[in-house]
């Protein structure tokens, strides 16, 4: 079940090397430019009202790195997260996920890579209201055709890990905001991904709950590559490095 390719490599590196051996690169963006409306928009010509979301963005994230993305609304934070998850293909440049160039992959391949290697945490949780916490967490495993007993076992383990061992049968509606985000984090981790992208993970939570959720994310995401987009200073404070964006350009790469 483990899709976590990088952790094993890092671990073996750690065994045989000193601490400052560089971790492998999990995500690399190379001169990425993206224009909305340029390659989408059925029945609309390319030069009709295109919006440039990213301009020549390059940076990389290593396994074990926590990288914050900061910038005002519309600066391109979400677009970067979507590009890293293979949810969109940028108009220009390359996006590498574990040394595979996503821009060269077919839709199906990108979906498979995302399912295996990327965990996504949304601002608004996006849990199915009619399913229990356990069923929500187990959902991503359905696609892989994993047997139900194993799905449940894995989901329960993760819910215990995020401190919701006594809430596995609760519906999202019966959980607090913080608890829902924990369920969403457990869901993002259920496939044991190498990369976790979180879009404003504390945006819907109060400060104290937000900090708890953040701690959890740091703890669980420790040996994975973690990209967090946020407006929130305290969220960004936990990052090893903060990439600042303005109008789709990188104005400061904390590294």
Partner 1 sequence: MTSTLRRAGRRLRAVVGLAVAQLRRSPGRTALTVFAVALAVLSVTLLASLGVGVVQTGEDGLDNADRDIWVSSDPIDPSASGTANPIVGSHALAAEMSERDDVSSAAPIAMHDIYVGTESDELERTSAVGVHETHDGFGFEEGGGFETEMNHSSGEYADGERPSEPENEEIVLDPDTAEAHDIDVGDTVYVGTSRESAANHEFTVVGISAYYSQYLGSDTETIPLTDLQAIAGTTGTDRATFITASVEDDADRDVVVAELDEEYAAYDVRTSDEQIGAMFEEQPLVLASGATLIGLAVVGGIVLTVNLFALVAYQQRDELAALRAIGLSRWVLAGTIAVQGLVIGVLGGILGLVLTPLLAAGLNYLASSVIGFGKLLQTPLEVYLLGLALAIVVGTVVALVTGWRASRYARIQHLSG
Binding residues for partner 1 (CB under 8 A): 82, 85, 87-88, 111-112, 114-116, 119-120, 122-124, 126-131, 135, 139-140, 142-148, 151, 171, 187-188, 191, 199-200, 203
Nearer to partner 1, 11 or 142 (CB): 142
Nearer to partner 1, 114 or 224 (CB): 114
Nearer to partner 1, 62 or 82 (CB): 82
Buried residues in 126-155 as b, exposed as e (16+ CB within 10 A): ebeeeebbbbbbbbbbeeeebeeeebbebb
Nearer to partner 1, 62 or 155 (CB): 155
Nearer to partner 1, 5 or 144 (CB): 144
Instruction: Provide, rounded to whole angstroms, the least separation between the CB of residue 253 and partner 1.
Output: 26
Instruction: Provide, rounded to whole angstroms, the least separation between the CB of residue 93 and partner 1.
Output: 19
Instruction: Provide, rounded to whole angstroms, the least separation between the CB of residue 116 and partner 1.
Output: 8
Residue 197 CA to residue 19 CA, distance in Å, equals 26
Instruction: Provide, rounded to whole angstroms, the least separation between the CB of residue 54 and partner 1.
Output: 15
Instruction: Provide, rounded to whole angstroms, the least separation between the CB of residue 85 and partner 1.
Output: 7
């Amino acid at each position: 079940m483990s899709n976590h390719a990088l952790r094993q490599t890092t671990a073996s590196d750690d065994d045989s090397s000193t601490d400052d051996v560089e971790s492998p690169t999990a995500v690399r963006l190379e001169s990425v430019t993206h224009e909305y409306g340029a390659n989408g928009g059925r029945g609309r010509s390319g030069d009709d009202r295109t919006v440039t979301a990213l301009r020549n963005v390059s940076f990389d994230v290593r396994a074990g790195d926590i990288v914050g993305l900061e910038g005002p609304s519309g600066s391109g934070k979400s677009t970067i997260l979507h590009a890293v998850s293979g949810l969109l293909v940028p108009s220009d440049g390359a996006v590498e996920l574990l040394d595979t160039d996503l821009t060269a992959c077919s839709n199906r391949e990108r979906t498979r890579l995302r399912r295996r290697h990327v965990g996504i945490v949304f601002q608004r949780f996006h849990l199915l209201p009619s399913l229990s916490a356990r069923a929500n967490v187990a959902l991503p495993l359905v696609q892989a055709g994993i047997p139900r007993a194993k799905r449940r076992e894995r989901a329960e383990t993760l819910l215990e890990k995020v401190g919701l061992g006594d809430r596995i049968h609760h519906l999202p509606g019966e959980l607090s905001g913080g608890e829902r985000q924990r369920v969403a984090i457990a869901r993002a981790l259920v496939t044991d991904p190498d990369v976790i992208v979180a879009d404003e993970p504390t945006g819907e939570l109060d400060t104290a709950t937000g900090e708890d959720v953040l701690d959890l994310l740091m703890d669980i995401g420790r040996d994975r590559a973690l990209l967090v987009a946020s407006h929130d200073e305290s969220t960004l404070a936990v990052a090893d490095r903060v990439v600042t964006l303005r109008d789709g350009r990188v104005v400061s790469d904390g590294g």
